[in-house]
């Protein structure tokens, strides 16, 4: 990757990494009496390692100008590998915390190994590590192909990918040390949040600069979704994380908002992280890779327009359905419920659009496990969004809220939709990225598919059952008018389901390991004939270097 940079670019990379090193040093010095200092040393180490790597190759020969006539895919390649690694870490932590809920004493007597600290490692590991890397890797690929333009420069994509992973690392290691602001899915502390904003601004700039150089008059559907993902996640992240640190030498901060306003802001963020991180971004993925793999155009362009603006507008109202029957004013709850129900229209517009695209290509779905991953993802997307709208109805929510039903719903989306569309897209992307004729083993994709599907179904059914039972036990009355069950009765009733859930999660994790193995073996396959993917080039002449 460093060999692809010119001398000037190498110098710039060294300057950026030098600044990062100094930032780390400042953090380590200011936070020497605090856990912030440990993160300072980590940032410093990242800076030094990067700086040394570039400096060592500084005098290597300049890359040929030829490279500018090709798409810039090196960041996507590393992004794919990081996606899989974070997937294994995040899902592994998920399996482990699921097991801890079944057997709480099966642990070691150390703070970092306790459920409360490992659980955000699981959630952030899969959402931000696995999902975020998948989004960055695929978006850079899709962006270039749909605009027929190369990325605008060589350094900023690396800055985004590596900087983002530094954020993920700070987040995960912070949780183990007890650094969290306890806002679900926004747990990292203030300095990590600020760093993410810097990374995100550069990410957005890459998008805009590439679009400005596009050779296609129209901006393709997938890019609207990716852009909405980048923009809205920025808005959500900044507003929800407004906080005052107790000092610049401390990792601890206090949220600017409190009580009811904080709850509303948090779930406006939380639900729209689902909407724009876990839905819009992955819909972008689906709108490119599914038609591509099926080799058919999208069923309806208009339907995708309706779906896009519907999701962009309506989702932002829906967060308050997390706060039914709470101290949040009633009118806000009602608005959240109403918009959540109407949201079914744009959601099903996209799910239907995807499935109708496959009309006439169902034999491919039968034969090709990669396409089957994507088709199944679309089906799970449809199921999960229906369930979500249903659960947002106040009366249903009174039963489902606070129970495992929510966990089941989330995982139907996370495993069935997000992970499946990701695996499908990566499988179809990997051979073309490494210019291999095919994957190492089609059979292993088949194995992965069935592991993933059975794991998801077992997981989700276990949680549906336990959630509904839990909710019903809490509200059951005896004939004499008293509550029939104590809380602990309901917990005991959950035990078998927690074991089944851990088993389902284990199957899914095994599938991810199979994927990692298959993709590594694909990369290690012998290099093929050169002109295999010769058509996959940007419009000529390529604009670059001093344009």
Partner 1 sequence: MFGLHYNLERSAVGLVAFIVIVASIGGFIEIAPLFTIDETVEEAPDMRVYTPLEVAGRNIYIREGCYACHSQMIRTLQDEVERYGPYSLAVESQYDHPQLWGSKRTGPDLARLGDKYSDAWHTMHLNNPRDVVPESKMPAYRWLLRDQLKTDDLGAHLAALRTVGVPYSDEQIANAEIDAFGQANPDSPASGGVAERYGAETNIRMFDGVQGRLSDMDALVAYLQVLGTLTDAAQETALAGVQ
Query: How many residues make up the chain in this entry?
Result: 547
Supply the DSSP symbol for 219: P
Instruction: Kindly state whether residue 342 participates in binding partner 1, applying the rule CB under 8 A.
Output: no
How near is the Cβ of 291 to partner 1 at its closest, in Å? 17
How near is the Cβ of 185 to partner 1 at its closest, in Å? 10
Instruction: Kindly state whether residue 316 participates in binding partner 1, applying the rule CB under 8 A.
Output: yes
Taking the least distance from each CB to partner 1, the nearer of 176 and 523 is 176
Find residue 477's DSSP bridge partners: 483
Burial of 472 (0-12, 13-18, 19+ CB in 10 A): middle
Binding mask 56-95 for partner 1 (x = CB under 8 A): ----------------------------------------
How near is the Cβ of 134 to partner 1 at its closest, in Å? 21
How near is the Cβ of 494 to partner 1 at its closest, in Å? 8
Which residues, 6 or more positions from 208, have their beta carbon under 8 angstroms from its beta carbon?
none
* Closest among 457, 364, 388, 372 to 416, alpha carbons compared: 457
The residue within the footprint of partner 1, chosen from 8, 326, 359, 438 (CB under 8 A), is 326
* Closest among 138, 134, 103 to 222, alpha carbons compared: 138
Chain positions 115 to 134 lying near partner 1, rule: CB under 8 A, are 115-117, 119-120
Binding mask 486-525 for partner 1 (x = CB under 8 A): -xx--xx-----x---------------------------
Give the integer Cα–Cα distance in Å for 369 and 387: 26
Residue 42 in tokens = 């980590």
How near is the Cβ of 492 to partner 1 at its closest, in Å? 5
The residue within the footprint of partner 1, chosen from 252, 292, 296, 435 (CB under 8 A), is 252
How near is the Cβ of 111 to partner 1 at its closest, in Å? 5
* Closest among 416, 446, 441 to 430, alpha carbons compared: 441
C-beta of residue 273 within 8 angstroms of C-beta of residue 233: yes
Residue 248 in tokens = 């610049």
Angle at Cα 183 formed by Cα 113 and Cα 270, nearest 5°?
120
Instruction: Give 225-271 as a DSSP string.
Output: HHHHHHHHHHHHHHHHT-EEES-TT-S-EEES--HHHHHHHHHHHHH
The residue within the footprint of partner 1, chosen from 259, 297, 526, 541 (CB under 8 A), is 259
Taking the least distance from each CB to partner 1, the nearer of 398 and 438 is 398
Taking the least distance from each CB to partner 1, the nearer of 166 and 179 is 179
Residue 422 in tokens = 């990701």
Region of 3-11, 51-59, 176-184, 352-360 interacting with partner 1 (CB under 8 A): 176-184
Chain positions 387 to 446 lying near partner 1, rule: CB under 8 A, are 398, 401-403, 406-407
Taking the least distance from each CB to partner 1, the nearer of 49 and 305 is 305
Instruction: Kindly state whether residue 474 participates in binding partner 1, applying the rule CB under 8 A.
Output: yes
Instruction: Kindly state whether residue 260 participates in binding partner 1, applying the rule CB under 8 A.
Output: yes
C-beta of residue 122 within 8 angstroms of C-beta of residue 171: no
Binding mask 180-199 for partner 1 (x = CB under 8 A): xxxxx---------------
Binding-site size, partner 1 (CB under 8 A): 97
CA distances from 458 to 89, 196, 507 (A): 21, 36, 9
Instruction: Kindly state whether residue 202 participates in binding partner 1, applying the rule CB under 8 A.
Output: no
């Amino acid at each position: 990757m460093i060999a692809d940079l010119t001398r000037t670019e190498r110098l710039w990379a060294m300057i950026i990494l030098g600044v990062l090193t100094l930032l780390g040093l400042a953090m380590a010095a200011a936070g020497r009496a605090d856990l912030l200092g440990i993160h300072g040393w980590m940032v410093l180490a990242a800076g030094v390692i990067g700086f040394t790597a570039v400096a060592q190759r500084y005098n290597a020969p300049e890359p040929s100008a030829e490279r500018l006539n090709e798409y810039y895919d090196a960041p996507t390649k590393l992004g794919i590998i990081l996606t899989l690694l974070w997937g294994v870490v995040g899902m592994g932590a998920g399996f482990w915390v699921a097991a801890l809920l079944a057997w709480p004493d099966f642990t070691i007597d150390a703070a970092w190994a306790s459920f409360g600290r490992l659980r955000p490692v699981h959630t952030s590991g899969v959402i931000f590590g696995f999902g975020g890397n998948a989004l960055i890797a695929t978006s850079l690929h899709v962006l270039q192909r749909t605009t027929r333009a190369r990325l605008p420069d060589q350094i900023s994509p690396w800055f985004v990918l590596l900087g983002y992973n530094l954020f993920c690392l700070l987040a995960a290691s912070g949780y183990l040390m007890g650094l969290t602001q306890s806002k679900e899915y926004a747990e990292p502390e203030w300095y990590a949040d600020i760093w993410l904003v810097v990374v995100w601004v550069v990410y957005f700039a890459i998008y805009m600069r590439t679009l400005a150089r596009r050779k296609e008059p129209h901006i393709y559907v997938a890019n609207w979704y990716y852009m909405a993902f980048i923009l809205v996640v920025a808005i959500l992240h900044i507003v929800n994380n407004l906080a005052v640190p107790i000092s610049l030498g401390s990792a601890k901060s206090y949220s600017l908002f409190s009580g009811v306003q904080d709850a509303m802001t948090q779930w406006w963020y939380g639900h729209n992280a689902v909407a724009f991180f876990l839905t819009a971004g992955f819909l972008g993925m689906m709108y490119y890779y599914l038609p591509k793999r099926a080799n058919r155009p999208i069923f309806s362009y208009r339907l995708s327009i309706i779906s896009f603006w519907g999701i962009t507008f309506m989702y932002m109202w829906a967060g308050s359905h997390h706060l039914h029957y709470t101290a949040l004013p009633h009118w806000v709850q009602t608005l959240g419920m109403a918009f959540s129900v109407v949201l079914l229209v744009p959601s099903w517009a996209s799910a239907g659009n995807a499935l109708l695209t496959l009309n006439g290509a169902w034999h491919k779905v039968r034969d090709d496990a990669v396409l089957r991953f994507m088709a199944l993802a679309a089906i799970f997307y449809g199921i999960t969004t229906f369930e979500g709208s249903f659960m947002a109805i106040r009366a249903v929510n009174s039963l489902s809220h606070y129970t495992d039903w929510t966990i089941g719903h989330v995982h139907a989306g996370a495993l069935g939709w997000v992970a499946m569309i990701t695996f499908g897209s990566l499988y179809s992307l990997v051979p073309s990225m490494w210019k291999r004729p095919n994957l190492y083993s089609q059979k292993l994709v088949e194995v992965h598919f069935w592991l993933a599907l059975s794991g998801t179904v077992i997981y989700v059914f276990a949680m549906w059952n336990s959630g509904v039972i839990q909710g019903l036990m809490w509200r059951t009355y005896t004939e004499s008018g008293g509550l029939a069950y104590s809380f602990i009765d309901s917990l005991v009733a959950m035990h078998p389901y927690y074991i089944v859930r851990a088993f389902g999660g284990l199957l899914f994790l095994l599938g991810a390991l199979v994927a990692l193995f298959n993709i590594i073996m694909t990369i290690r396959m012998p290099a093929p004939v050169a002109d295999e993917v010769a058509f996959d080039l940007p419009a000529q002449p390529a604009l670059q270097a001093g344009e």
